[in-house]
């Protein structure tokens, strides 16, 4: 049996939740616990859960059951469940999973680490940790980074003021609160000094940053980009409404701001967007994308769409697929709608049958793949910059990304015959594609 003071964390969910996981790991180490990256070596396992849609919720619950099986078999001593599932379903989980040793709502991890320390020391603890109220948008200090030093996420705000009718996130993460510039400069400085090459700005709605302080996102992006260092900035989770157009100048001209934007549109058909309670019509979304392509030539856009929302018809799906093709949106994530307790969408009639949702999702993903393949094929023969995320393995293949690819969600570049380190930027020639349209590349210059 592994010592209960050896703790491992299993992370589920998005980049914002990953920062929470890294904060928890940092707190655990500060509490003098041994943090292990290998769950099979740990006596205590922390599961940081996700619950924003059905499949994510189900995965969190099945992972809890798996961990409780390990506990019954005596492989581990303590099971700790934290994160969005607890924040959303609160003490109902205590009844459903009585064998869990500790539940913790979302927080900065300090109280959680203290309780785990006491648990590991065999002390009696309060098994349910409530979050101490709305999380202060404070500095995320002393995270134990879990990403390679080629990139790290930087959360710029908490929560969301939008009312998208399919989304449970505002109920989990609360209303929008921006982190202060000086805190973000401090965090960015720390990451850049730690050798992190790419800072990936994340939030529920990045484009709302600063509005509660009388500022706008471009101010923050320029401030972070102007910091000393050879870092790059990437903006994720922009909202296609009230867009801070000053940002395009930075995306186009600033050498440290990547000409890339993640802007989830969710759909394009006006009646569906209305039912989703999304601000902005399909026309407005098209105008925003047109202006982005115009003002930032060569920009790479990533987006996310939701298929199968109540009232959606095959014609609406056709309109969405035409939109994906005409705007060449190859870097696209798609989800099937799942009715979420507590969301206004859950009350809507005209539900789309689950099998039909799967059919529509398959069709949208096939459309995306065709666009992606065509986009990637155009890169063959071109010289590109690739940041290395994983140094060469025994077969001599290193893994990285072009600046057109965000970590963990977009494509990778396979580079053979390069002796580069993680975080290095290498000039490559794209020679071909693998079966998932990732680039196969060879180096044309030594690493920068």
Smallest distance, ligand SF4 to C-beta of residue 337, A: 12
Percent helix, strand, coil in the chain, to 5, is: 35, 20, 45
Smallest distance, ligand SF4 to C-beta of residue 171, A: 9
User: Is 84 a binder of ligand SF4 (CB under 6 A)?
Assistant: no
User: Is 257 a binder of ligand SF4 (CB under 6 A)?
Assistant: no
The single residue among 70, 149, 162, 189 that binds ligand SF4, judged by CB under 6 A, is 162
Stretch that binds ligand SF4, among 123-131, 167-175, 184-192, 341-349 (CB under 6 A): 167-175
User: Is 262 a binder of ligand SF4 (CB under 6 A)?
Assistant: no
Q: Which is nearer to ligand SF4, 2 or 338 (CB)?
A: 338
Region 186-215 residues binding ligand SF4, contact defined as CB under 6 A: 204-205
| Spacing of C-alpha 84 from chain mean position | 14
Region 231-250 residues binding ligand SF4, contact defined as CB under 6 A: 239
Helix (H, G, I), strand (E, B) or coil at 375: helix
Q: Which is nearer to ligand SF4, 205 or 216 (CB)?
A: 205
Q: Which is nearer to ligand SF4, 203 or 439 (CB)?
A: 203
The single residue among 23, 31, 164, 184 that binds ligand SF4, judged by CB under 6 A, is 164
Query: What are the b/e assignments for 239-260, b being 16+ CB within 10 Å?
Result: bbbebbeebbebbeebebbbbb
User: Is 167 a binder of ligand SF4 (CB under 6 A)?
Assistant: yes
Q: Closest by alpha carbon to 288, among 314, 264, 309?
A: 264
User: Is 274 a binder of ligand SF4 (CB under 6 A)?
Assistant: no
| Torsion angle of C-alpha atoms 71, 17, 183, 181, degrees rounded to 10 | -170
Smallest distance, ligand SF4 to C-beta of residue 270, A: 17
Is the Cβ–Cβ distance between 252 and 296 less than 8 Å? yes
User: Is 307 a binder of ligand SF4 (CB under 6 A)?
Assistant: no
Stretch that binds ligand SF4, among 79-87, 121-129, 157-165, 215-223 (CB under 6 A): 157-165
Q: Which is nearer to ligand SF4, 168 or 299 (CB)?
A: 168
102-104, strands of its sheet edge to edge? 34-35, 6-11, 44-49, 78-83, 102-104, 128-129
Q: Closest by alpha carbon to 371, among 402, 325, 430?
A: 325
DSSP per-residue letters across 324-355: HHHTT--SEEEEE----TTSGGGG-SSPPPHH
User: Is 20 a binder of ligand SF4 (CB under 6 A)?
Assistant: no
Smallest distance, ligand SF4 to C-beta of residue 96, A: 25
Query: What are the b/e assignments for 175-201, b being 16+ CB within 10 Å?
Result: ebbbbebebbbebbebbbeeebbbbbb
The single residue among 4, 43, 137, 170 that binds ligand SF4, judged by CB under 6 A, is 170
Tokens of 76: 């581990």
Q: Closest by alpha carbon to 129, among 152, 104, 107, 109?
A: 104
User: Which residues sit at the interface with ligand SF4, rule CB under 6 A?
Assistant: 160, 162, 164, 167, 169-170, 204-205, 239
């Amino acid at each position: 049996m592994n010592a209960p003071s050896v703790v491992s964390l299993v992370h589920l969910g998005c980049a914002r939740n990953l920062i929470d996981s890294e904060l928890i790991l940092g707190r655990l180490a500060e509490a003098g616990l041994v943090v292990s990256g290998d769950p099979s070596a740990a006596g205590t396992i922390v599961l940081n859960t996700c619950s924003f849609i059905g499949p994510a919720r189900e995965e969190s619950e099945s992972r809890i059951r798996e961990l409780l099986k390990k506990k019954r078999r005596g492989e581990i001593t303590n099971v700790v469940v934290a994160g969005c599932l607890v924040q959303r379903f609160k003490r109902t989980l205590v009844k459903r999973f009585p064998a869990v040793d500790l539940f913790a709502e979302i927080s900065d991890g300090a109280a959680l680490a203290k309780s785990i320390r006491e648990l590991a020391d065999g002390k009696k603890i309060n098994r349910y940790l409530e979050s101490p109220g709305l999380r202060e948008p404070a500095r995320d200090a002393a995270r134990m980074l879990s990403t390679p030093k080629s990139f790290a996420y930087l959360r710029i705000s908490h929560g969301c003021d939008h009312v998208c009718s399919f989304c449970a996130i505002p109920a989990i993460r609360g209303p929008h609160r921006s982190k202060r510039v000086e805190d973000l400069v401090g965090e960015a400085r720390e990451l850049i000094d730690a050798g992190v090459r790419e800072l990936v700005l994340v939030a529920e709605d990045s484009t709302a940053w600063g509005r509660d302080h009388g500022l706008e996102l471009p101010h923050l992006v320029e401030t972070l980009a102007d910091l000393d260092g050879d870092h790059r900035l990437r903006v994720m989770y922009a909202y296609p409404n009230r867009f801070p157009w000053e940002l395009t100048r930075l995306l186009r001209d600033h050498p440290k701001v990547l000409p890339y934007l993640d802007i989830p549109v969710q759909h394009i058909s006006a009646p569906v967007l209305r039912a989703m309670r999304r601000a902005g019509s399909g026309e407005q979304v098209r105008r925003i994308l047109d202006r982005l392509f115009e003002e930032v030539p060569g920009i790479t856009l990533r987006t996310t769409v939701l298929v199968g929302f109540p009232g959606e018809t095959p014609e609406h799906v056709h309109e969405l697929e035409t939109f994906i093709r005409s705007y060449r949106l190859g870097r696209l994530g798609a989800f099937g709608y799942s009715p979420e307790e507590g969301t206004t969408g859950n009350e809507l009639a005209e539900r789309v049958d689950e099998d039909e949702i799967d059919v529509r999702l398959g069709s949208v993903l096939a459309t995306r793949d065709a666009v992606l393949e065509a986009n990637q094929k155009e890169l063959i023969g071109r010289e590109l910059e690739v940041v290395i995320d994983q140094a060469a393995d025994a077969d001599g293949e290193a893994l990285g990304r072009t600046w057109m690819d965000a970590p963990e969600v977009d494509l990778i570049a396979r580079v053979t015959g390069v002796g580069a380190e993680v975080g290095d930027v290498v000039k490559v020639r794209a020679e071909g594609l693998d079966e998932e349209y990732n680039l196969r590349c060879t180096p044309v210059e030594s690493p920068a």
